[in-house]
Amino acid sequence: MNWNSVYVISVSVGVTKVSAAVMNLKAEIIDHVVMEETCAEPLIDTVYRLIDQLLEKHDQTEIAGIGVSAPGPIDESDSRMLTPPNLKGVVNLDIKALLEERYQLKTILEKDANAVALAEQWFGHVPSNESILYIFDDEGLVAG
């Protein structure tokens, strides 16, 4: 497999901004878009808008899937964003199902701190056979 020619869309949901990127499997960013103000519309509409902007410039047939990192709590059994305390209006959001239905792409939802810890193991300076604890301090303190 050529890691440079397989692409994914990465969506990062934060308290003050949402960003999305097209990247290869080496985590090299090909293109990205950011929306700083997230309160003006429902979160899912912001995510749709960012992904749509990326797909206007990139062929969807080259995209293998979508990965979403978001603040918890997350119901891991069915990949729902439950009620993140710092994201107003987000209650039991089935973001995985909504994105898969709209884009017909396999979607994975991961808690933001866990996603950062995984990225550090896969692409950072931590050997993959070592356990790590990642402390994430944004609008709250969480660990992955």
Residue whose pair of structure tokens reads 């959001």 in the numeric block? 93
**Centroid of chain to Cα 130:** 24
Query: Which token pair is 53?
Result: 């902007």
pTM of the model: 0.86
Of the candidates 50, 30, 21, 29, the residue with the CA atom closest to the CA atom of residue 38: 50
Q: What pLDDT score does 139 carry?
A: 58
Q: What pLDDT score does 144 carry?
A: 44
The string of DSSP letters for 10-60 reads EEEE-SS-EEEEEEETT--EEEEEEES--SSS-HHHHHHHHHHHHHHHS-G
Beta bridge partners of 111: 70
C-alpha–C-alpha distance, residues 60 and 134, integer Å: 33
pLDDT tens, position by position, for the chain (144 residues)?
565 678 999 999 988 899 999 999 888 999 999 998 666 678 999 999 999 999 999 988 889 999 999 988 898 888 899 988 888 888 999 999 999 999 999 999 998 877 776 666 666 777 667 776 666 666 555 554
Torsion of Cα atoms, 33 then 36 then 42 then 43, to 10° = 60
Q: What pLDDT score does 67 carry?
A: 95
Instruction: Give the DSSP H or E segment for 70.
Output: strand 63-70
